[in-house]
Amino acid sequence: MLKIVLPSSFDFDSHVMSIVDVHSRGVDKSWLSKSAAVLTKELKDLRPEKGVTFTHLIALGDQEYYGLNRNGDGFPEKECQACHSTFVKHAKWFHNHKNKPDRGDPSFGFVKHSAHNPEMHRTELIVGIYEDKDPDSIQKLANGEDIPVSMACNVPYDECTICGNKARSRKEYCDHLKKYATQMTKEGHQIGMVNRNPDFFDISKVHRNADRIAFTLRKAASADGAPMLGVDMAQALGITPPEWLVKDSSYHRRYGLIRKLAAMEKEIEGTIEANPSMQCIAEGLNEPCASVPEMDEGQLNQVFTALADARVSLPLEDFLRLVTGGRFDEVKDLVPEAKEALPGVFSDCMSCPDELLSGTENYEPLDLSVPNLVNSIVRKMAGPVLAQEPLKGRVTTITLRKKAGIIVPYKKSRNFTKAGQVLAREYARYKLAFLDKVDDDFVTRMSVLQNFG
């Protein structure tokens, strides 16, 4: 989902963009004090570059402190902390959202650094503007004027602040957002969208003030009573995703999923430490399948499809039996080491997500129909179904069973070898493809809990 976000739609009570006082020894301390900018290592090391004027841009405000912006969009602190680097990776300084360099659109600058300011609760950028390409912007900033700025981003989905509905497009919006976005409920809650995993790919100077654009578009939309939202502005302004974003949509979706799973790992670990009996449930989710047949390599993706449709997440050992076929004995002795690496496998991969994402297609569930023979084989496997209703009875049985035994306290230490880590990450690739296909919060949580068994 593409959206327009206006820095001026947050109440920062200051200019959103200003020139950085930087000299041969670095950033001027008095400028830092006046701007209340966060002093990162990158900013500390900033030095002048020939033909470039560096500017400070306040891009986003944390939802917990600034609330929703005037277009109903909210960006929680955790999202701002995680997403600010996308400005550096993907965004450039454009004019009027003409953001396709591959089609001949010029860029007028670049994003040098990004940071989240924990004291001011906002996202800050250092934008370098080419002096020979955009002297007008530099002159206005030097005169103390503000520049109308508009940013474009892509979000895999957003959530309604009232009912929690997750929407991947405007068509999926609930009635709260379709009819009452930006309004307040009787209880004093503002109706709007919480944005998850935003990827910013465009920062533009616009010829007309960004708030005036929003006002004009909102007025145009008022004929049918619909509020003008960030997604509407993107459509009305003709914003289209850059080619790399279209090509890599699955990559960015799964990158966001890795972040979600890593956060869930930490949450589940804390729950198990507080209540060790939860590990008994995790162990119950690893009960072996009745049988794991040897399959031709060409049939594996069909099996993964049938497993995903049935909400079956294979335990580690059964997964290895399936993918290694007759060679399972070669890795059998490494299974305990791989299990040691599983509880934090997604957190471990946050430093190298590309490595985890590479090879995920080997376990990709298909969108095509699965042959009856494969479906019957999967039914015979009778693996752990993680859907909520079928799982209720099993959880009850597991809970009653553990009351009669001794609960061993959860051990946080993880002792695993490199070989064990390799197998664990291969299993994590399977989980990633499985959960991307299933897209169910309960199944996702149970699948992560399964790694702690």
> Which of these ranges, 265-279, 308-322, 362-376, has the smallest mean pLDDT?
362-376
Phi-psi region of 193 (alpha: psi -120 to 50; beta: other; left: phi over 0): beta
Any idea where the domains of the chain sit in the sequence? 2-247, 250-450
Residue 279: is its pLDDT beyond 60?
A: yes
Q: Are strands 149-154 and 199-205 parallel, antiparallel or unpaired?
A: antiparallel
pLDDT, one tens digit per residue, over 391-416 is: 655 555 554 454 444 445 556 666 77
The tokens describing 133, both together, are 């390409």
Q: Each residue of 24-39: pLDDT tens digit? A: 888 998 888 888 888 8
Report the percent of the chain where pLDDT is more than 90.
35
User: Which helix H or strand E contains 259, and what residues bound it?
Assistant: helix 249-274
pLDDT at residue 145 is higher than 60 = yes
- Structure tokens that stand for 70 in this block: 């005037």
pTM value > 0.75: no
**Residue 185 contacts residue 162 (beta carbons within 8 Å):** yes
What pLDDT band is residue 221 in, cutting at 50, 70 and 90? very low
Residue 357: its pLDDT value, please? 81
**Residue 224: is its pLDDT beyond 90?**
no
- For residue 32, give every residue at least 6 positions away whose Cβ sits within 8 Å of its Cβ, in sequence order, or none: 39
User: What is the rounded CA–CA span in Å between residue 370 and residue 389?
Assistant: 24
CA torsion sign for 420, 260, 360, 245 is negative
Compute the average pLDDT of residues 102-113. Answer: 90
| Other residues' Cβ atoms within 10 Å of the Cβ of residue 258 | 18
The overall average pLDDT reported for the chain is 83
- CA within 13 Å, CB half, 37: 32
**What number of CA atoms fall less than 13 Å from residue 78's CA on the CB side?**
8
One-character DSSP codes across 109-166: EEEEEEEEETTTTEEEEEEEEETTT-HHHHHHHHTT----EEEEEE-SEEEETTT--E
CA atoms within 13 A on the CB side of 129: 27
How far does CA 31 lie from the centroid of its chain? 34
Neighbours of 382 (CB within 10 A): 14
